[in-house]
Amino acid sequence: MDLNAQAAPPLALYLHFPWCVRKCPYCDFNSHTLHGELPQQAYLDALLADLDAQLPRVGARPIVSLFLGGGTPSLFTPDALGRLFAGLRARTAITPDAEITLEANPGTIERGRFADYRAAGINRVSLGAQSFSAQMLERLGRIHSTQDTYTAVEELHAAGLANFNLDLMYALPGQDLDGALSDLRAAIALQPAHISHYQLTMEPGTVFGGRPPAGLPDDDLSYGMQLACQHELALAGYAQYEISAYARAGAQCAHNLNYWRFGDYLGVGAGAHGKLTHTTASASGKPGVAIVRTVREREPRRYLARGSGDAPPTTTVPSADLPVEFMMNALRLVDGFEESLFETRTGLAFSAAAGPLTRLTGRGLMESDAGSPRMWRPSELGRRFLNDTIAEFLPTRPGA
């Protein structure tokens, strides 16, 4: 049984668009090189059929944010996305102030102008700049130029889309501290509302994961870049609110905040993941909480071939795993979380997390205040070693 709209966490909608012009060697997202014509209408039809199959699980709960991710959703024309939004609004209650984000790549691969995307319903854009160095862009396998990014941002401003994010990487092959700061200053000069500033990592299953590029900065240099860039961002008025996210006042990404606060989301599209909260009945009759996860077929042709089909199967997260699942999200937030949020979003008593939090506080990895409500947050050291901090919440398995 679903929670009612008042008791349920906020509900977001993620729509995945799996095609790119070329797969980047560092990317571990579900993206596929486009060969031939883009099947725009067929994919839009599949997205709406997918949503139709999943809506009975959420009833009349409103959608508070939408995120079109990929891949490269901006390969789809503004007209196509306008038709998609018309179909979404005919099926769901999207709140009037919903944040609607489009991921886009700079350059000539875009199929429409940002003014047209805004007219279609987009009110936020996340632009994959990654670097402002031609040499670094080439090493990253990017197909756009620095000028493409400048042109795209000029167009965003002209279209009145001031609420945009720039993705920017650091610790790139052959990059030094001055290069990382130069990239960041170039990004700040374009006046984005939000900057996602994250370290290049070698993900398993990627080209770079199998063959790391030469000249990667060592851990000390990478951390030095992070600290220097954080200082530069703060001076420019960008407050860090998440491990790799910085925003001007009022410009935090609502969709991602819902993830980090362990909210709910429908995952629609090839390879999309979802998370939903349901009520359960215990032997005593007291209602409990069950967290279920979903995932769709990754390969676009298989996804298109599924037809209207059924909703994706659900996997219930074991109660013993809920503390670490919650902390994997909430500990990304610089401000941390309230004790009550842990209880309402997991259905567990706070005692399920109290032991690890006490141990981590003793090691200097977590901090708390004694106010009401009581907040818990990772310390600066805890953010630096976040994986170690989160690992403290892993359940003990039999025989381990």
236 pLDDT higher than 60: yes
CB burial class (10 A; 0-12, 13-18, 19+) of residue 360? Answer: buried
pLDDT of residue 113: 87
Separation in Å, CA 31 to CA 18, 21, 99: 5, 10, 24
**Starting from the edge strand earliest in sequence, which strands make up the sheet with 366-368, in order?**
337-338, 375-378, 366-368
Specify whether the CB–CB gap between 187 and 195 falls below 8 A: yes
Residue with tokens 């160095």: 133
pLDDT of residue 285: 60
Domains of the chain from N-terminus onward:
11-257 (3.20.20.70), 319-400 (1.10.10.10)
Write out pLDDT tens, residues 114-130. 999 999 999 999 999 99
Over range 329-338, report the average pLDDT.
Answer: 96
268 pLDDT higher than 80: yes
CA distance 169 to 143: 16
| pTM of the shown model | 0.93
Share of the chain above pLDDT 70, in %: 94
Write out pLDDT tens, residues 157-186. 999 999 999 999 999 999 999 999 999 999
Confidence grade of residue 281 (pLDDT, cut at 50, 70, 90): low
Specify whether the CB–CB gap between 337 and 378 falls below 8 A: no
Specify whether the CB–CB gap between 313 and 57 falls below 8 A: no
| Longest CA–CA separation in the chain, Å | 64
